[in-house]
Amino acid sequence: MGAVFCCCDNNVREEGATPKTPLLSGAQSKPVVSQNQEVSFAQEDHAPQSGHSVRQHRPDAIKNQEFVTSVDQLESVTLTQLPPQFPTLNKTFQDHGKLYNELYSNFKDMRQSLNDFKGKFVQETAGIPIIADCLKVLSARCGGAKISAQRQKNCIQLMFDQREVSENCSGLPEDALEPLELYNKVNRLIKGVLDKAPQVNKSLGLVLEDEQNLRKVITKSDLPPKEASEALHACIENISRLRKLPGFIEIIEKYTHKIFLEILEGSKVLLEEKEVQR
């Protein structure tokens, strides 16, 4: 039986030993984020998906936007199901894929909600609605309505009375109320991403450190050689896909933290400074 599994392992190594599967040679790879890439995705934050195109107002920025940015490289992960003989191993892979995908989904929701928020201020900001300018406009729209804040770690929630805002706003009530609700939604999503990202990253690290033992679960099983080879190949591919995720999570954390700091600074036009300080 020992010779059989040695043969299986060799077969998989021959089939999968490519630069795309560095795990086969014991190497570890992480996504590399260049300084140019980080600058690019920082600029991307200022481009809403709705309203006037930035192309109409900042033609000099178009070339930068055409580059593939760090955030655009992010993607969900799909992990191969292992044979039913390995329920625990399969659950380990699928659970961690689900954890990352939920984090990534919340991150995408945050970006979309932020763009929806900015889209409410396109006209007043000449088509370039950065967060600070949006909040200045929102402050004016709220008129004399009292706006306070409840500060938590990685989150600011605006407290307001809908009726008071409706009665004191400078225009239509929905032009003030909808951005206020979106502001709170963005902050809740930011908190969810920044709170969960370190936990997901830590759990992934424990799995990746245990790579050799994960392989042994298959190589020491009593599967026929062909099935064992296929299962081991799937296991190695899953580990290779998981190895990309810590780099993705780092990008998600940096981008999300940057957005929160911009919101924190811009919120001073809506609130007393003492209410938004750490």
Q: List beta partners, residue 154.
A: none
Predicted local distance difference test score (pLDDT) of residue 231: 95
Task: Determine the Cα–Cα distance for residues 80 and 208; give it in Å rounded to an integer.
Answer: 16
Q: Higher pLDDT residue, 56 or 260? A: 260
Please check the confidence at residue 26 and state whether its pLDDT lies above 70: no
Question: Alpha-carbon dihedral of residues 221, 227, 228, 233, nearest 10 degrees?
Answer: -140
SS3 151: strand
> What six digits make up the tokens of 88?
């625990």
DSSP state of 149: E
CA 91 to chain centre: 23
Please check the confidence at residue 113 and state whether its pLDDT lies above 70: yes
Q: SS3 helix, strand, coil % of the chain, rounded to 5?
A: 70, 5, 30
SS3 74: coil
Predicted local distance difference test score (pLDDT) of residue 15: 37
Predicted local distance difference test score (pLDDT) of residue 70: 82
Question: Alpha-carbon dihedral of residues 16, 21, 24, 25, nearest 10 degrees?
Answer: 120
Predicted local distance difference test score (pLDDT) of residue 268: 82
Answer whether 263's CB lies under 8 Å from 131's CB: yes
Whether pTM > 0.75 for this model: the answer is: no
pLDDT band at 272 (very low <50, low <70, confident <90, very high): low
